[in-house]
Amino acid sequence: MEIKEEKINSFTVVSVKGKLDASNSARLEEKLLSILDKNEENILINLKELDYISSSGLRVLLFTAKKIKELKGKFLLCELAPHIKEIFEIAGFTAIFTIYASKEEALEVK
Amino acid sequence: MKKLSIQIENTLSEVNRLILMVEEFGEKNYLPPETIFDISLSLDELVTNIVSYGFKQGEKSKISIEIAITEDEVAIELIDNGIEFDPTKSVDPDITLPIEERKIGGLGIFFVKQKMDDILYERKNNQNVIKLIKKFNKNKKMEI
């Protein structure tokens, strides 16, 4: 798994590439917590290049979303491949997360 | 019938090795990509669970996995020496709760139940024996 971080407008965009599972989800959690530690409360997770996610990955996203909700920040997701989106649907995450088809659309959120 | 037998140690890096072998085996035998994804995810969730909760800290053990592909289904047998755990009895998470009330965890086994056509559990000779069945359609067009 590769993680890339960039700042665009009011968002910190975190792109996750490859496989996100129990063996590396702690690495993503550390990265997301380090962003919140810098008082950056708007995070956009770009999953365009994510091939695989297990419940360990979803756990990290839910944990971060809960934290951001408390901080009254924004937590958005974008560009999920169909098989990844299906996992989010089974987990009921499409109802609790805001998911955009493209990064551009997500970044327009004020 | 095509068969793959693997034995791994109870560590997370071994789970990665297992999933890579399962993916390779599935591709070599022309399983549809969505079937490979579903069995990889299900095995990942079950074996990660066994590795994380089945043993005392530092306890070394082996987990056996056997995968058989027939004309229209994949049959998987998973055997471990960990503490007794019946995944078919695990309580499903409430996926309708708002974000504040959603529990962190419990999703893994739920995925397996959603993705597999059949899950059977047996406690035999002090071992957990899990059998999974996934049906597939070889002629189905790729969706991914």
Domains identified in chain B and CATH numbers: 2-135 (3.30.565.10)
Residues of A in contact with B114 (CB under 8 A): 90
Burial zone of B84 (CB within 10 Å; 0-12 exposed, 13-18 middle, 19+ buried): exposed
Smallest CA–CA separation between A59 and chain B, in Å? 6
Residue A95: its chain B contacts at CB < 8 A? 95-96
Using DSSP, state whether B71 is helix, strand or coil.
coil
Taking only the tens place, the pLDDT of each residue in A45-67 is 999 999 999 999 999 999 999 99
ipTM: 0.92
Domains in chain A, number: 1
pLDDT for the residue B106: 86
What is the domain-level CATH number for residue A51? 3.30.750.24
Average pLDDT over residues B94-100: 93
Q: Where are the alpha helices (DSSP H) in chain B?
A: 12-28, 33-53, 107-115
What is the per-residue pLDDT for B140?
Answer: 60
Q: What is the pLDDT of residue B138?
A: 76
Q: What percent of chain A has pLDDT over 70?
A: 100
For chain B, the C-alpha Rg in angstroms (whole number) is 16
Nearest CA in chain B to A90: B111
Asked if the C-beta of B38 comes within 8 angstroms of chain A's C-beta atoms, the answer is no
Q: What is the pTM assigned to this prediction? A: 0.93
Per the structure, the complete domain to which residue A19 belongs is given by: 2-107
* CB-closest option in B12, B33, B110 to A22: B12
**Which residue of chain A comes nearest to B43, CA vs CA?**
A54
Q: Are A42 and A7 in contact (CB under 8 A)?
A: no
pLDDT tens-digit series, residues B14-47 = 999 999 999 999 999 999 999 999 999 999 999 9
Measure the CA–CA gap between A18 and A75, rounded to whole angstroms: 21
Given pLDDT bands bounded at 50, 70 and 90, which one contains residue B141? Answer: low
Say whether residue B107 is in contact with chain A using an 8 A CB cutoff: yes
Q: Which pLDDT score, from 0 to 100, does residue B142 have?
A: 52
Task: Calculate how close chain A gets to B100, using CA atoms only, in Å.
Answer: 6
Which residue in B140, B128, B143, B132 sits closest to B39, CA to CA? B132
Whether A83 and B105 lie within 8 Å, measured CB to CB: no
Contact flag A87-B102 (C-beta cutoff 8 Å)? no
The conformation of residue B87, written as its DSSP 8-state character, comes to G
